[in-house]
Structure 1
Amino acid sequence: MAARFPEGNQVQLRPRKGHDMTWSCDKHGEPIAFYCKKHGLPVCDRCAIKEHCQKPCELDDIEDVIFERRKKLDEKRPKIQELQKQMKALDLKIKMALTSGDTNLQTVNNSIQASYHNKIKSVEEKEDRMIRVINEEADEEIRLVNEKREKRIKDCNTEREKKRQIIKDKEAKLLSDAKKITEIISKKIKDLTNKSQHVINTIKNIESTITRINQHDETLVNEAPQVLASIDENLSLNVHQDVSDGLDRIENAIQRVTFVEGEVGGKYYCRIDGYIGKWELVKSIHIPSVVHKPYVCGLVSDDEICVQDRYNNDMYMYVTNINTQHTEKVIRGVWIISCAPIDSNVIVCGKRRDHFTGDRLDGCITLYDRQWKVIRDISIPRNGDSRYCSVYVDVDSNGMIIAGQYYQSNIYLINPADDKIVNTITMQGKKVRGEIQALSSDDIVVKTGYYEYTVISRSGEEKAVIHCVKRGRSQCRVDKLTDTLYIAYWDRVRMTYAVDQVSRDGIIQARRIVEYVKSDRPHYSSPCLVTPSGNLVVHVCDGDKFLLYKKTILL
């Protein structure tokens, strides 16, 4: 039986079974009627009878359970409300504590900052006084240092601008050369186009004439012979083949044009090259008569040629500047046969010396500075039993000296930093008969006969043999940037000097690219010198003068 509800705490009960009870059992779908205390489950009548009718199950009326539990919850509400009031008061107290703490800590922070601000200010004032003292004591030194710094910066800026201008000038020259080549090619193509267009127009006129005279028998009879003659004349010109051949030549020349660059003697050079060109004489430089018997040893820079005077026993060495055309005497008493720049400060020379008896060649290779003062001699092994020894030298792209004794098979690779021989190259069945020159590919071109030049690898392998015209003694010079060989020789038949252009593989690229006559003045040889810039090919001509040639594209 349900208990009576206390006044003021009326609980709204759910209807009993058979009324509007909506709370039903999930298993049977019938209204909930009881609550099993043992299992803590609300159950319907069927559940109570079948599953919860035996002990230890104890069933209570569901309405009593609902009433009892609501009553207990309502009894807790005053405590909850009281706790809420307490927490609100505590929250207010926390906020007040935070505000009070912040205010107090801010006061502490302000005190700290004020105290240390004064300390920092005191330190700064002290250090400022010390700095002022230091500055006052060091003003003169600082002034001197600043002056030195400003001078060095100014010198750097000047040097930078100078080098920048040199680079810009080289770039401008290269672009100008490229433009000239483009203009030459464009003009040639335009000429071929005009030639082709003229033929096209002529053919159109002929076709128009044929159409016209075919309209009347009388006109056909009277004008046909002239028209046929015109046709035969134009067909015989073979303009199509001429234009086609011309285009092939232009295309072949264009494919050869390339930009080449590299270092020679420690200096950077670049240019447009690769094509077979026409060499034009641009300058003639007189060799002073004081040089009685000139012998050209080689180039020591892009514009300086070394000439040995082998008159009597004086053995004067002269340097001629291509640009200024000035010839200057530099050393005396040594027989130099070859020379090459190692860098902008050092020149290596190969010499001829007599009266050797030991197993070393001392003084046949000498390093000079740019004022032609001896730096030191380099010694190499003496091969053979001749007392008269000549050594030919050159410098490769890595700055290493290559040297070979005349009429011997060994070629030495020498490090100029410590004068040590780092490699000995032995030719098989051949001997050095003249100049030795390094290619950019690391191969070496050696004169091995009056008319023969042999290209060898650093291991001594023979890679090519080049035979020049067998008419007179020859000399070869290498273009260090393209590895092209220029072989100058005396043509006894024509009684002139001539130069052939040859690839490093021994292929003749062009015959007699330049030709010049011999004078009566005594001289030893007439080699063709190629400057690193490649714009000028220098020919030592007839003992009286240097002839300078410049290459232009040939179509």
Structure 2
Amino acid sequence: MASRFPEGNQLQLRPRKGHDMKWSCDKHGEPIKFYCKKHKIPICHPCATKDHSQKPCELDDIEDVIFERRRQLDEKRPKFQGLHKQLEALSTKIKTVSTSGSTHLRTINNNIQDSYHDKIESVGEKENRMIRVINEEADEEIRLVNEKREKRIKDCNTERENERQIIKDKEAKLLADAKKISEVVSKKIKDLTDKNQHVINTVKNIESTITRINQHDETLVNEAPQVLASIDENLSLNVHQDVSVCLDRIQSEVERVEFVEGEVGGEYCGRIGGYIGKWELVKSIHIPSVVNNPCVNCLVSDDEICVRDVGNNGMYITNINTQHTEKVIDEGVWITSCALIDSNVIVCGKETGDRTGDRLNGCITLYDRQWSVIRDISIPRNRGSNGVYVDVDRDGMIIAAQFDQSNIYVINPADDKIVNTITMQGKKVWDEIQALSSGDIVVKTGDDEFTVISRSGEEKAVIHCDEWYGPQCRVDKLTDTLYIAYWDGARNTIAVDQASRDGIIQARRIVEYEQSDRTNWVSPCIVTPTGNFIGCDGDKLLIYKKTYIL
């Protein structure tokens, strides 16, 4: 197709023949005559004269261009043909290489697949082996866990069954004690009933005899003296009054019987109490001679008694059941008192020789049940003795007091802090202090005097007896009953009186025994939570049990 260019000088072109005359300009319909080198297009004569006559257009005869192009193509043909042959050969080679490569790569692919199929199978087998091992280990762990679980459940069942059995045994004992009391009451009632019935029968016989002898004068005269004597004899017995008084006493004694329960040393306890009864010796346990001058101190459990050697201040534990005595604290530590905080911790009051500083250090010590020291607790120090007495109240707080001082400190054993200070008015601590379940405190305030004070320090009762010499008081933690052991010089024995927390002496000499020459110290008497009464004569621990009497 010819193109239009700016008008200018017209070139004179000489047309030639010999090329395709059918080739014509699309614009002018004229045959193609020239070739514009600048625009690289074939053109007709009108195009040449009108659009391509100005420089820089340079025109060639179209035939010359055609001939030149043919010549150039002809020159390239051998090379092209050679290239064509090369390309055909290359195509053949490509096909051969492609086929060979495909075959080889298929072989490689197959080898890869075969190899990795084996590896995958190996991994699968390894996985299966590992899963088997894991399952076996898991099964073993599950078996061990199940065994552990079953053992723990079995141990739990055993422990709970033991607890249940202990509770059942305690219940059975209490029921047996109640039954014994009931049997005593029933027997006494039966005796009184029989006695009363005997009198009733006697009265009926007398009435029948009177009716009979009244029917005949002769019989009346002869038998009346004997009948009258029998009436006087039976009336003089005053059976009605005796039986009535006895019944009143039985009723009063029965009403005193009660079931008492509570916590002692953090453990629940219960028993039948309230009555005076009679203490009977059921067992005596020899104290080994290694304990020079034995004195009962306190309970560690219902069966374990702390025995202090007054001579060298060593502390021993005697088991009531096994009758075995073992030293737990070496000589030289003056233990004034001790008490259970709970089933695991014991608090001890001590006396030390250190009289310096404003604190009493080492006078209160916490021990575990193996009698290893847990820690010391200090309280303010005042002048005088460094002896400290301790006990544990109903709330698990330690109460502590220094000898010859009026202050009693209430200490929280959880953090050793003093939470309250009780100050007695006009009196000082002479010896031991005892906490009551009511919250009150019994304090020895004189050689033969014990004072019950409230938490505010108010005096509530004073317990005193002129016959007491060197008295030692211990409180029954379940009933708040006081038991005062003392030396009875008139009878040359150790006697024990029973008193209430309101200061009334309820019974004298409920227990009495001779003291051996092995000691010159009055040992306190202790009532265990289950009701055993324990005294010490210097050679033996004396175990008493209380029976109900009417």
Q: Does the 8 Å contact 1:264/1:480 carry over to 2?
A: yes
Deviations 1:235-262 (A, max 9, x none): 1111111111111111001111111111
Amino acid paired to 1:331: I
Question: Residues 139-538 of structure 1 correspond to what in structure 2 (within 5 A)?
Answer: 139-311=139-311, 314-332=312-330, 333-384=332-383, 386=384, 388-534=385-531, 536-538=532-534
The alignment status of 1:548 with 2:543, answered yes or no, reads yes
Taking a change above 3 Å as real, the CA distance of residues 288 and 523 of structure 1, as seen in their structure-2 partners, is farther
Name the CA distance, whole Å, in 1 between partners of 2:217 and 2:242. Answer: 37
Q: Does the 8 Å contact 1:177/1:272 carry over to 2?
A: yes
Deviations 1:273-321 (A, max 9, x none): 111211111111111122111232222211211112133xx43211111
Q: SS state of the match for residue 387, structure 2?
A: strand
Amino acid paired to 1:325: Q
Shift of 1:195: 0.3
Q: Does the 8 Å contact 2:295/2:524 carry over to 1?
A: no
Name the CA distance, whole Å, in 2 between partners of 1:275 and 1:355. Answer: 47
Name the CA distance, whole Å, in 2 between partners of 1:250 and 1:500. Answer: 23
Q: SS state of the match for residue 284, structure 1?
A: strand
Shift of 1:428: 0.5
Amino acid paired to 1:373: S
Q: SS state of the match for residue 208, structure 1?
A: helix
Name the CA distance, whole Å, in 2 between partners of 1:461 and 1:382. Answer: 23
Match of 1:106 in 2: none
Rg (Cα) greater in structure: 2
Name the CA distance, whole Å, in 1 between partners of 2:173 and 2:298. Answer: 26
Amino acid paired to 1:196: N
Shift of 1:134: 7.2
Q: SS state of the match for residue 285, structure 2?
A: strand
Q: Does the 8 Å contact 1:294/1:523 carry over to 2?
A: no
Name the CA distance, whole Å, in 2 between partners of 1:310 and 1:193. Answer: 55
Deviations 1:54-76 (A, max 9, x none): xxxxxxxxxxxxxxxxxxxxxxx
Deviations 1:195-229 (A, max 9, x none): 00000000011111111111112211111111111
Name the CA distance, whole Å, in 1 between partners of 2:482 and 2:453. Answer: 14
Q: Which runs of 4+ in 1 moved over 4 A?
A: 130-137
Q: Percent identity?
A: 79
Name the CA distance, whole Å, in 2 between partners of 1:492 and 1:525. Answer: 12
Q: Does the 8 Å contact 1:360/1:382 carry over to 2?
A: yes
Structure 2 unmatched ranges of 5 or more: 1-129
Name the CA distance, whole Å, in 1 between partners of 2:523 and 2:229. Answer: 57
Q: Does the 8 Å contact 2:296/2:535 carry over to 1?
A: no
Q: Does the 8 Å contact 1:468/1:487 carry over to 2?
A: no
Shift of 1:231: 0.8
Name the CA distance, whole Å, in 2 between partners of 1:236 and 1:133. Answer: 102
Deviations 1:174-193 (A, max 9, x none): 11111111111000000000
Count, aligned residues: 420
Which shifted more, 348-357 or 476-485?
348-357
Q: Does the 8 Å contact 2:351/2:387 carry over to 1?
A: yes
Amino acid paired to 2:547: T
- Which of 531, 539, 550 pairs up with 2:535? 539
Name the CA distance, whole Å, in 1 between partners of 2:417 and 2:475. Answer: 26
Name the CA distance, whole Å, in 1 between partners of 2:136 and 2:216. Answer: 116
TM-score of the aligned structures, taking structure 1 as reference length: 0.73
Shift of 1:532: 1.4
Q: Does the 8 Å contact 1:262/1:269 carry over to 2?
A: yes
Shift of 1:523: 3.3
Taking a change above 3 Å as real, the CA distance of residues 187 and 316 of structure 1, as seen in their structure-2 partners, is same
Name the CA distance, whole Å, in 1 between partners of 2:151 and 2:192. Answer: 61
Match of 2:48 in 1: none
Provide the aligned C-alpha RMSD in A.
1.7
Question: Residues 131-142 of structure 1 correspond to what in structure 2 (within 5 A)?
Answer: 135=135, 138-142=138-142
Name the CA distance, whole Å, in 1 between partners of 2:300 and 2:530. Answer: 13
Q: Does the 8 Å contact 2:349/2:389 carry over to 1?
A: yes
Amino acid paired to 1:370: R
Amino acid paired to 1:363: G
TM-score of the aligned structures, taking structure 2 as reference length: 0.74
Question: Residues 49-128 of structure 1 correspond to what in structure 2 (within 5 A)?
Answer: none
Shift of 1:137: 6.1
Name the CA distance, whole Å, in 1 between partners of 2:247 and 2:202. Answer: 21
Q: Does the 8 Å contact 1:438/1:444 carry over to 2?
A: yes
Name the CA distance, whole Å, in 1 between partners of 2:178 and 2:137. Answer: 62
Structure 1 unmatched ranges of 5 or more: 1-129
